[in-house]
Amino acid sequence: MLSVVIPTQNSEEGLARTLASLVPAAAEGIVREVVVSDAGSSDGTRIVADAAGCSLVDNSGGWLTRVTAGVHVARRASWFLILAPNVHLERDWYREAASFVERSERAGRADANVATFRIAYDEFGWRPRLAERMVGFSCALFGRPLREQGLIISRRHFEGLSARIADRFAGHGDLVGRLSRAAIHMLRADAVVLPPTRGGRAAPSYGRLLRITSSGLGFPTPTGDWTEE
């Protein structure tokens, strides 16, 4: 039912943790394959992908170029879950995702509907909770989910959208910016952004959240593109 595409760059730890959340879905036959599209990682990203049985694609382009390369390689499903590394999908997410795909196909909306997950940050304190609410507000008002929330989209829909984006360094925002707000469905399951395991803080990227909100409200966007990785 789903092929998973994960664009990576030096994502060894994050990839391993993300793949762990896909195991139950693979056991149920919902996830048919996982394609890792890697931009020349110098850490153990490729080793993790190979050990987990993922297909591996080398691509040094931007986020959208890497995702497109992964979509072209994947052949076992007509729907894709585009997922960032270091995101752990909440238990039983795949049942809700399968239901969304089935309902979209029955309604003849496979070429229009997309789905994304709610976001959660695996940190204590008020900042992560505020970030979660900001993301929810942005999605509800502007229809611009973060790449960490994942995106479930059919092959034909993805190919139709990406074909109209010429920039090989285009990012997640360039893709979701072309989606109709009414066509974006928020699933109840959480995409949990995990903190790093070797020191440092998790990266809710509060500055990026501010840029998204400012852009959606029509205010001048601060320096930096919120679609960048």
Which domains does the chain carry?
A: 2-216 (3.90.550.10)
- Provide the whole-model pTM: 0.85
Do residues 85 and 15 make contact, with C-beta atoms less than 8 angstroms apart? yes
Query: Which has the closest alpha carbon to 149: 126, 124, 179, 169?
Result: 179
Q: How distant is the alpha carbon of residue 77 from its chain centre?
A: 17
Query: Which has the closest alpha carbon to 158: 112, 97, 108, 106?
Result: 112
Q: What is the pLDDT tens value at each position of the chain, 229 positions in all?
A: 899 999 999 999 899 989 999 999 999 999 999 999 999 899 999 999 999 999 999 988 888 999 999 999 998 889 999 999 989 999 889 999 999 999 999 999 989 899 999 999 988 888 888 888 888 887 777 778 888 999 999 999 999 888 888 777 788 888 888 888 888 999 999 999 987 655 444 444 555 555 554 444 443 333 333 333 4
Question: What is the C-alpha to C-alpha distance for residues 68 and 89, in angstroms, rounded to an integer?
Answer: 22
